[in-house]
Structure 1
């Protein structure tokens, strides 16, 4: 296999670690400055099942918020669980869109993206269009995983190559360096704040790191092997063994270091 098919998503699997996954988003939102208009118009690019999109309504209760995603499975979950009027008088809705081509169709006060842009090759090239779609004083904010050189991902790529799945997975160039993001955003006339944080998630349960990546990074492999259960199980068995060695459990759980990169860019008014 030389090219990656679009991964299929499992909202239930993704949400198994919802608390850990949501924390970087709440940390990102804490750095977003006041928005230029009330009530604000907000877009969430790559909203998934909508659980973190709903957090936007807590921060901006009167906002009209739209979550965009290209996964029918994720959007179905979001529509059922989160769509509708919000307690503060705003509204939360969801729509199908491909982040690779999405263009703002109206002025936004905030465009935000949580752990999505790593799936978008050349995403920095989209920044100009998104910043252009902000009102003066509006903000573009995102976070992406910066752990593509971690054992979880290196082992995954090595195994994929050995199992004939070359090209199915993203490599360490799926995201840019913090300095690269800073240069791109300031080059668009934004006042930008870029930083990185390594979380040490303490995971519990049997093979928790494997359980984590089944919801995200491993999806392309699971999709590629969906019609070959024997090959899928052979891959998972080998990967499980390698992860157990790379991430040994302690008496209190399995520490899982996870680096993330954050950026908050305010469009000059």
Structure 2
């Protein structure tokens, strides 16, 4: 199957739930004149465009590895707002940046101490970091996927549990990197979804993508059915279904 397993239409079906943490992250940023911004893991670009407009930035570049997501993002391109297909691990900016922004993307990458040091090296004087990462690894939505991964022989393909630090860990790391100005905190976002099936679709568009890629369409179809049944056993089938999702928001400026 194709390498790109991201489905922008399914992803945007839950746009309000996905956007709210990003808007809260934008609100932490201190505006400055003529800002140069990179948004890492920009997806469909809707939040990138919001970021660009709210900060009246001189230039904003959204970076993502998914051609399908970027196809929608490129529709939003305008003078000063552009998008580029690249791997965050290997990409680097051509100029120093005033803001490195990332909403729900860096949990896929390892070595966060090394990663944040690299990102901070991209910053101009008084540059800012603004990062949001999910921390829902103990929720059944995540534990069930990990357990099924063992059954299907893929192992725990979602790496967030091992990659994401505690809020205290990020705060101390940033301090030792020279970021005395910082806000690091956990926040619970309560999502009221119509049903258990809606929760399955919510995570099918993000968390479960590595299993879709590893198992192929037929294998993933069986995986998804077992995932739903295991979630039903733990959560029932209330309608609507309330889902509290914990996320860590990080802002820092030297």
CA drift at 1:71: 1.3
Q: Which runs of structure 2 are paired with 1:91-110 in the superposition (5 Å)?
A: 91-110=80-99
Unpaired segments ≥5 residues, structure 2: none
Tell me what 1:242 maps to. Answer: 230
CA RMSD of aligned residues (A): 1.8
2:196–2:238 contact (8 Å) kept in structure 1: no
**Which TM-score applies when normalising by structure 2?**
0.93
**Which TM-score applies when normalising by structure 1?**
0.88
Among candidates 15, 18, 21, match of residue 21 of structure 1 = 18
Distance 1:97 1:21 in 2: 22
Tell me what 2:161 maps to. Answer: 172
Runs of 4+ in 1 over 6 A off after TM superposition: none
1:192–1:264 contact (8 Å) kept in structure 2: yes
Tell me what 1:140 maps to. Answer: 129
Tell me what 1:44 maps to. Answer: 39
SS at match of 2:163: coil
- Residue deviations 1:142-168 (CA, integer Å, cap 9, x gap): 000011121100011001101111143
CA drift at 1:108: 1.0
Tell me what 1:88 maps to. Answer: none
Q: Which structure features the higher share of helix residues?
A: 2
Tell me what 1:61 maps to. Answer: 56
SS at match of 1:93: strand
Among candidates 181, 188, 196, match of residue 177 of structure 2 = 188
Distance 1:181 1:7 in 2: 31
Distance 2:176 2:143 in 1: 32
Unpaired segments ≥5 residues, structure 1: 86-90
1:247–1:255 contact (8 Å) kept in structure 2: no
Among candidates 203, 206, 209, match of residue 213 of structure 1 = 203
Q: 1:197 to 1:165 in 2, by over 3 A?
A: same
1:45–1:67 contact (8 Å) kept in structure 2: yes
Q: 1:237 to 1:192 in 2, by over 3 A?
A: same
CA drift at 1:241: 1.2
- Residue deviations 1:23-66 (CA, integer Å, cap 9, x gap): 0010111111233xx22111101101111111112312243110
- Residue deviations 1:8-33 (CA, integer Å, cap 9, x gap): 21111111101100000101111112
Residues paired across the two proteins, number? 252
Among candidates 111, 114, 136, match of residue 122 of structure 1 = 111
